[in-house]
Amino acid sequence: MRNMDDFSGSDGRALSVDYHFRKMSEQDLADVLAIERKSYEFPWSEKIFQDCLRVNYHCYVIESVQQVKGYAVMTVAAGESHILNICVDESLRGFGIGRSMLAHLVDHARNHRAEMMLLEVRASNKVAIDLYFSSDFNEIGRRNGYYPLKNGREDALILGRIL
C-alpha cells in the first residue's frame, strides 16, 4: 500500500487516499470498462479483457478505497515483456499514478526474468510519450496506420527499453 499524499498534481493539488496494485479479476471488468470507454475513442471490448484474463496475461488494477482507478495489461514471455494497455482514471491523471503503475510493471517484468520491455503508443499521445521517454524508453520503430481514427488511421510509435 502506498499513500497518495506523496503525489501532487501539476496544479499543486495533493491526494490523500491510499492505493494499491492487485491482480485484475472478472469482477473488476465493469469498472475497468468504464475507465476504458471514457479514455479512448476506440476502447477495448469486454471480450478482449476477458481473453487477457483467460490466457493469464499479467493484468492489474490500481485500487483506492475499494474502487478501481486504473489498470494495466502486460505479457511476459521468452525474455520480453509487452505492455498492451495502461490507463488511469481521468480524476487521477497528473499525479504520477501512471508513472507508478509503469514502475510496477517494470518490476514485475524483471521478476519474471524479462530483459526487454516493448509497447506501442499513438504518435499523437504526447503525455504518454513523455512518460515513457522519461522512464528510459526509446523509439525503436513505427507501425504505419496502426490505430483507428474516425477518418483514417494513426501511426504507432514502437518504444522499448532494456530491463
pLDDT tier for residue 16 given thresholds of 50, 70 and 90: low
Axis crossing angle, helix 29-39 with helix 46-54, rounded to the nearest 10? 130
Cα–Cα distance, 86 to 112 (Å, whole number): 19
Closest CA to 87 of 135, 39, 129: 39
Task: For residue range 63-118, list pLDDT tens digits in order.
Answer: 987 889 999 999 999 999 999 999 999 988 888 889 989 999 999 999 999 999 99
- Averaged confidence pLDDT in the chain: 90
Q: Could you tell me if residue 12 is inside a domain?
A: no
Where residue 146 sits, what CATH number does that domain have?
3.40.630.30
More confident residue, 11 or 101: 101
Q: Is 114 exposed, middle or buried (0-12, 13-18, 19+ CB in 10 A)?
A: buried
Does the residue 157 lie in any domain? yes
* Residue 131 counted as domain residue: yes
pLDDT over threshold 70, residue 15:
no
pLDDT band at 6 (very low <50, low <70, confident <90, very high): low
Q: Would you place residue 2 in the very low, low, confident or very high pLDDT band (cuts 50, 70, 90)?
A: very low
pLDDT-derived band of residue 11, with 50, 70 and 90 as boundaries?
low
Q: Is the pLDDT reported for residue 1 higher than 90?
A: no
Within 13 Å and on the Cβ side, how many CA atoms surround 34? 11
pLDDT at 94 (0 to 100)? 85
- Full residue range of the structural domain in which residue 97 is found: 2-6+17-162
Domains: count for the chain? 1
Catalytically active residues, by annotation: 120, 132
Q: What is the pTM of this model?
A: 0.88
